[in-house]
């Protein structure tokens, strides 16, 4: 978990296995804290898992975290989410699939205030 670089700066990182194990324990109550930790540790896989969790369990997360705090969390997550989605869409179009792997947008059933 600790890595030294040639300049003797100690850096921390999470291995892929550690990120996977932490992602298995995500919940509506802890996803905001785990996301912040993942960003701090530059844990890209775990960051993506947190974003996926929030997207899949948005209503549960909104209830579990006070709305004002949840809005701050979502505001922090939006730039990463945007970059991730852009990368995914580029990979779909570059893969010769012409966006075929991208599902059509879901019909909104509820409006959520951010």
Distance of CA 107 to the CA centre of its chain: 23
User: Is 103 part of any domain?
Assistant: no
Identify the three-state secondary structure at position 3. Answer: strand
User: Is 38 part of any domain?
Assistant: yes
Rounded-to-integer distance, Cα 56 and Cα 111, Å: 15
pLDDT band at 107 (very low <50, low <70, confident <90, very high): very low
pLDDT tens-digit map of 18-38: 999 999 999 999 999 999 999
User: Is 108 part of any domain?
Assistant: no
User: Is 40 part of any domain?
Assistant: yes
Supply the pTM of this predicted model: 0.66
Q: Look at residue 2 in the predicted model and tell me its pLDDT.
A: 47
Task: Note the helical H segments in the chain.
Answer: 16-23, 31-40, 44-56, 58-64, 67-94
User: Is 102 part of any domain?
Assistant: no
User: Is 83 part of any domain?
Assistant: yes
The count of domains in the chain is 1
Torsion over CA: 93, 56, 21, 42 (sign)? positive
Which residues form the domain of 26?
2-94
Is 92 exposed, middle or buried (CB count within 10 Å of its CB: 0-12, 13-18, 19+)? middle
User: Is 22 part of any domain?
Assistant: yes
């Amino acid at each position: 978990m600790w890595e030294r670089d040639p300049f003797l700066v100690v850096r921390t990182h999470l291995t892929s296995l550690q990120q996977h194990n932490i992602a298995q324990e995500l919940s509506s109550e802890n996803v905001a804290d785990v996301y912040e930790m993942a960003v701090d540790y530059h844990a890209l896989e775990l960051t993506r898992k947190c974003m996926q969790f929030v997207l899949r369990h948005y209503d549960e997360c909104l209830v579990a975290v006070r709305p004002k705090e949840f809005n701050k969390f979502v505001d922090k997550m939006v730039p990463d989410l945007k970059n991730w989605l852009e990368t995914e869409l580029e990979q779909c179009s570059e893969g010769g699939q012409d966006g075929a792997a991208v599902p059509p947008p879901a019909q909104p059933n509820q409006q959520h205030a951010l």
